[in-house]
Amino acid sequence: MSKKYTLTAALPYANGALHLGHLAGAYLPADIYARFLRRQGKDLAFVCGSDEHGAAITIRAKKEGRSPQEIIDHYHALNKKTFEQLGISFDIYHRTSSELHHKTAQDFFLQLLEKGDQFEQKTTEQYYDEDFKQFLADRYIQGTCPKCGHEEAFGDQCEKCGSTLSPTELINPISTMSGKTPVLKETTHWYFRLDQHEAWLKEWVEKGQLDGQQLHDPTKWRKHVLGQCLSWIEGGLQARAITRDLDWGIKLPIENAEGKVLYVWFDAPLGYISATKAWAEEQGKNWEDYWKGEDTELIHFIGKDNIVFHCVVFPAMLKAAGDYILPKNVPANQFLNLEGKKFSKSRGWVIEQHQYLQDFAEFPNKEDALRYALIRSLPENKDGDFKWEEFVALHDNELADNLGNFFNRVLSFIKKYSAGKLPAADLDLLIQGSEVGSESSYKKVCQTEILPLVERLEKEIMAFEFRQAIQTVLELSRLGNGMFQNNSPWKLAKENPEAAEVQTVLALGVQIAACLNILLEPFLPFVAQKMEELLNWSADLDMASLKEKLAAGQSLLAVGHTLAAPKVIFAKINNKKDKRWSDLIAQQEQLLQDRLKALEAEAKRKAQEEANQKRLPEIEFDDFTKVEMRLAKVISAKKVKKADRLLEIEVDLGGEKRTVVSGLAKCYTPEEILGQQVVMVVNLKPRKLRGIVSQGMILTAENPDGSLSLLQPWKGMQDGALIK
């Protein structure tokens, strides 16, 4: 049986539109890999689909006053369409609301139940909203994250730090339904005995081994993936609830389980299997070959917030079932930011995929312009950043000036000096190389320059190094531009357009262009299609055949082949004669600037509200009169060693000098406060700070953002004057 690949891309919730962070996180990398495997002639199933159960769906439905079914139908169609428009080439985009998926998930549950040792029932206390008479699923609870302090963490996960949580871990939990503090109430649920799988999971993740077999190479897994998995495992795995009290989801297929549905974390990954089943049935294939075949590689493309579920929980489920393969690799990406800030749909700091396509409807190559910018910013090993300024620079400098310019030169030269037809090359004729002063030949360039680039590209893609891989492809167009520049065929053609040197250089340009056409397709499929039309050929050569031809120095196109007339592929954004595209970018930047101002204003308002809420309790007037405050002049100041916030200040209280240690260093330099009058509490009991006795306290006003300002008299007053 031939080797097979099963590629999965994280199932997106069908409760909202997807944004560019989602695209860069899982779907674009998965598409590049799938397209390249197809180019290699591999047998693969590339599956995805909508995750249509769970609290996130019902929350959205309640907000919009629609049914959960209406919500999932709308967003499934929207996201499926935008994926297609952006060239994400899933073999199938399925739905977890389908009858096939419900049966697949229920059968899987029953299969594990029959094992007798994979589940247990527990009666525990869970949060309950008394107003709505409903147990609260994780997404119906928000509170402060115990790990990072983020105040809007959900009951299952903190979207700021990525930590996996349980509802009872949240600080100050609030029901998102009523806005009130929920109560704890007993309920019974089924739990998956994840704790039983801890030992083998650790060995499998850390060493890639299971039952004496080497199943994967941990050195090829990304460090942050291994680190997060091992941290979770070493913290001790616990049994996890697989059911919830909800009226929307996959019903538990056993007696005495009314009102119970499968928890979405258990249900959703099984969507990969049901999607494969649906696809295999359409194709007349056996789905089990892609999930149980010994010579099949399973690869999950996800974001870092899904690592634990795909590297620990789902593998445990698969092994518990007994005959499924485990992931070969899980190249999880980190997060993509937007102009330096995390994407946030709730805060409106977002560019949604469908909105980009609408706004850029008339922009040439809008799909691949976006794909290219995102590929160059992929958060493979650390968080990336999407910026409009970089979008423009990458488009104009790399796509237009490098790639597009080379392709246009090839077609223009062929039209002008060879009547639009591919000339015959002298394979061994010496010509100028791509480096100034070097010599090469058509065959040598194919064998020693193009072929090594192709082989390097292949290794980079198979290692999930897509950012580097696209730059390797662009090296090929730089090579072509260098060959043209150093040989100057336009000069040679003036003397004799049919000279062997001219014909060879032009033919080599076409050879490089054809290679570019093939190699660009996984990254920029729409541009590759345009190149195919301009070269007037079918760029369906597989990688093995491409390498064979390059090794032999053979032309990819036949001598005499007719090429199309030259046509500009990339219209530059920064164009003085046509400002449509630069104006469009300016509009996008202005939208973000306006949104940023609104967010900053909202943050200040919230901070002020919090500051107001932190007011101290009332005191008696007699208590206030016990505090003695006077004006003092700063006569010297210096930083306290090894203390970033502290200044050692000497003040004059009108004849009496004192030393005060004050936390002003973050807002004032010693020079700035020298000679200034300040308000000081003078009857505080002295205390030692950093070895210095502080004899009072200088008063300041503090903004919600933590910035400080000294309090000073409006009129000139004597040092030592009493504050009343």
Q: Which residue has the tokens 């794909």?
A: 371
Is 1:295 a contact under the CB 8 Å cutoff? Answer: yes
Say whether 145 counts as a known binding-site residue.
yes
In angstroms, the CA 426 to CA 446 distance is 13
In angstroms, what CA-CA distances link 684 with 431, 627, 648, 697, 720? 88, 8, 17, 7, 16
User: β-pairing, 629-639 with 647-652?
Assistant: antiparallel
In sequence order, the 6+-apart residues with CB closer than 8 A to the CB of 604 are: 704, 705
On whether 229 is known to bind a ligand per the annotation, the reply is: no
Token pair in block for residue 417: 């000096």
DSSP annotation string for 323-370: S---EEE---B-PEEETTEE-BTTTTB--BHHHHHHHTTTSTTHHHHH
Phi, psi of 130 (to 5 degrees): -70, -30
CA–CA separation, 79 and 117 (whole Å): 39
Task: Give the strand pairing for 657-662 and 647-652.
Answer: antiparallel
Q: Retrieve residue 409's tokens.
A: 């030169």
- Tell me the C-alpha distance between 398 and 62, whole Å: 47
SS3 sequence of 173-216: EEECCCCCCCEEEEEEEEEECHHHHHHHHHHHHHHCEECCEECC
**At what angle are helices 366-375 and 466-487 packed, to 10 degrees?**
110
CA angle 248, 252, 258 (to 5 degrees): 75
**Strands 153-154 and 629-639, sheet pairing:** unpaired
The annotation status of 446 as a binding-site residue, yes or no, is no
| 515 in a known ligand binding site | no
Rounded to whole angstroms, the Cα distance separating 488 from 500 reads: 14
| Cβ(47)–Cβ(276) below 8 Å | yes
**451, two tokens:** 């072929």
345 is in an annotated binding site: yes
Binding residues: 145, 148, 158, 161, 345
Binding residues for ATP: 345
Binding residues for Zn(2+): 145, 148, 158, 161
